[in-house]
Structure 1
Amino acid sequence: MPTANAALVDRENLRAGVDAALARHVATLRGTARAISPDAAPLADAVERMLAGGKRLRAAFCYWSWRAHGGTPGDEREQAVLRAGAALELFQAAALFHDDVMDDSSTRRGRPTAHRVFADEHQAEGRRGEPRRFGDGVAILLGDLALVASDDEMSHALAGLPPSVARSARAVFEVMRTEVTIGQYLDLVAQTMPWGDAVDDERRARDVVRSKSARYSVEHPLVLGAALAGADDEAVAGCRAVGLPLGEAFQLRDDLLGVLGDPSTTGKPTGDDLREGKRTVLVARALARATATGDQATVDALTRGVGDPHLGPEGVATLTGLLVRTGAVAEVEQLIEELCTEAFAQIEARDWPEPARSTLVALAHAAVERTA
């Protein structure tokens, strides 16, 4: 979310409420770690660093969906919704710790990734064993700690709610976590498959977009907020109709930023997705267009370059140029526009009250028009 739109998640003290819940968790984790052993203190520091950089976008979609479905600011249920938002942020932290290990990413939000930090410390202190294995191991454990914390936070959030509301909200949260994990697996599998069939390439890319990011980033938070308000099935279906296309547009924007974004803004080196071999709709469209026009040189360059971990700045620039020249970038921009049109039409069809409606519209724009 661009800095100009950061105030969106500050409305109604949303960020302050979510951050307070996260701070309580970090303080508890720090006390537990130190009580077990002074050597465990760096774990709490690493979790705190990861939590400090989040946009709180998922928490905001959850909170304002709750408001859109009858939630009243300041009532006894508001704290539950804010804690549910904190649970979403903790799950996001868990996913990022693990994702950075799987992708061997070097930076996250402009800072070295956790596994790199711990590997570097291992090497600097001359410890025994392989630094990289140590760093990866610690990052996996950090993800596990954040995952446990997300479940604890959600349990606390639901504890005082009516049983039917708590069951509905818990079901949304459980499906979300399972789906994201399966989406991560599909992402890994897709990177092992050969390019070649345009239909299959895009199908795999869209499957990953939907399961790993689209539903998790927008649809499930909207549905969770509605569930916490006790919304009926029709209202929940309306949230899904808004959330899926908007979530897809959100991830497609992320894919474009991974190639064309400014590293000083995105916090990640340009071309990381290309080096990691991410099977994005963007690359699938470029290959499909090059194949259709008989441009074998472009096909060869893309299939050889995407997934090359040693791809340097010149190689990244070459592939980026091909993505633009094939028309793939323009096609993905057009797809984002179509998905946004669908999502905004669905918002228009909902009878959400103000200020929830206008805030959710602004959040939707921020999600797809961002530069980071």
Structure 2
Amino acid sequence: MANDAVAGNALRVAPAQPGATDDPVHGVLVAFARDLVNDVDDTLSAFLTREVDALTEIDAAMGGFAATARESVLAGGKRVRPTFAYWGWRGVVGGDAPLPTVLPALAALELLHTFALVHDDVMDASDTRRGLPTVHRAAAARHVTAGHTGDPSRFGESVAVLIGDLCLVWADRLLAHATVPPARLLEVRRCYDQMRIETIAGQYLDVLGENDAANWSVDQALRVARYKTASYTVQRPLLFGASLAGIAPDAPLIAAYTRYGLAVGEAFQLRDDLLGVYGDPAATGKPAGDDLRTGKPTVLLMLARQLATGGQRRALERAGTAVGVREVARLADIVADTGAVGRVEHMISDRVADALAALGTASIDETARTALTGLATAATTRRA
């Protein structure tokens, strides 16, 4: 189940120092990460049950549609965004504040994430997500099985767009269930809205880059990473959590969270770039070499083109047209031979170091500091 995977994967809190795996504090944090994910999942499950029941009353077909949306939310995932938001909140309030008051807001970030994933899969024409058919592919298959008229692919994409939209509305509704003072919730909404705007901006730049890959640059690829991933995966969730705690927007901790979140978020995406070419499909849930097969202008591919010799560059122009497994594997070897993989690994290390330096400047709850230190490493050394 997802919770067990989380405990041993991206949400596992790494030891603060080498050799500290037997540290009892580390053990407590690992157990707490598991408990937090369970709490978020329980909150989502209870909320979605009510929402699915309400939609079923409209029409039985709506019930099936809403159930598909619910399954998309609850079908695994690392719950990275609620976790960073939690530690952003905990870093301000310490260990005594009651978690149930903010749990709906933390869980709402997972609904926002599902919205982004479902729409992203349509735009990327992806076949799988977390090892299962993507929403639009599954809906298209149901269209065929049911013997409906019309284009199954078009139907599947339409259903997926509506499911993503529904998750976005559900995120707003669940966020409103947080029991914090109205004025504070307004500040939280400002942070949440900015997160959504930056996510859409990053997604548009990603789409643009895929359609203008020949003219794309490393700087533009990094900008996509900053707004599509860093903003809504780490940086804004941390600030969202701080807003839930009622911290002033100009407090010094906000600057530290912003620096940490940008660094870890970019490193998170850079790791994704590497996994998109060299990841194990059993762990990533996606075919190996997908980014090379589609010619996605990631930082990794842009660096490879920048560092390539003339012959290597001509070969890399095949990215986006390669279809065979051997051809994709050959392109992956060429990317590594250019030195781009080592360069990206160095960029990840530099960003993690900058994130930890930012934490060192912050006045923050010490348990939260330990957790965020571990998460900076765990989120950027993952295999999925």
Partner SS for 2:364: coil
Query: Is 2:199–2:232's contact at 8 Å kept on the other side of the alignment?
Result: yes
Normalising by structure 1, what TM-score? 0.92
**Correspondence for 1:205 among 215, 221, 226:** 221
Residue in 1 that maps onto 2:243? 227
RMSD: 1.7
Identity of aligned residues (%): 42
Shift of 1:40: 1.9
- State the AA in 1 paired with 2:226: R
Specify the code of the residue in structure 1 equivalent to 2:203: Q
**Which structure 2 residues correspond to residues 225-304 of structure 1 after superposition, within 5 A?**
225-232=241-248, 233=250, 234-290=252-308, 295-303=309-317
Q: Which amino acid aligns with 1:253?
A: R
Whole-angstrom distance in 1 between the partners of 2:161 and 2:358: 39
1:319 matched residue in structure 2? 331
Q: Deviations over 1:65-86 (max 9, x none)?
A: 11111244452xx223221111
Q: CA deviation at 1:2?
A: 6.3
Counterpart of 1:168 in 2: which secondary structure? helix
- Work out the CA distance in 1 between the residues paired with 2:132 and 2:7: 18
Structure 1 residue 135 corresponds to structure 2 residue 156: yes
> 2:63 is matched with which residue?
41
> Aligned equivalents of 1:194 and 1:170: distance in 2?
35
| Counterparts of 1:55 and 1:271, CA distance in 2 | 22
Q: Is the 8 A contact 2:292 2:332 kept in 1?
A: no
Structure 1 portions without partners, runs of 5+: none
Looking at structure 1, the residues matched to 7 and 344 of structure 2 have their Cα atoms a distance apart, in angstroms, of 24
Alignment of 1:1-372 (within 5 A): 4-5=8-9, 6=11, 11=32, 13-52=35-74, 53-73=76-96, 75=98, 78-157=99-178, 160-195=179-214, 201-232=217-248, 233=250, 234-290=252-308, 295-303=309-317, 305-308=318-321, 311-372=323-384
Whole-angstrom distance in 2 between the partners of 1:336 and 1:298: 24
Deviations 1:217-254 (A, max 9, x none): 10001111111111232221111011101110011001
Partners in 2 of 1:10 and 1:145 — Cα distance? 33
SS of the counterpart of 2:93?
coil
Change (3 A) 1:190 1:347: same
Higher share of residues assigned helix? 1
Q: 1:118 to 1:259 in 2, by over 3 A?
A: same
Deviation, structure 1 residue 168: 1.7
The separation in 1 between residues aligned to 2:290 and 2:12, in whole angstroms, is 29
Q: 1:2 to 1:87 in 2, by over 3 A?
A: closer
Q: Distance in 1 between matches of 2:314 and 2:184?
A: 54
For 1:65, the aligned partner's letter is: G
Output the CA distance in 1 between the equivalents of 2:122 and 2:291: 14
Residue type at the aligned position of 2:228: K
User: Is the contact between residue 2 and residue 370 of structure 1 (CA under 8 Å) also seen in structure 2?
Assistant: no
Structure 1 runs of 4+ aligned residues shifted over 6 Å read: none
One-letter identity of the residue aligned with 2:55: A
Equivalent AA in structure 1 for residue 154 of structure 2: R
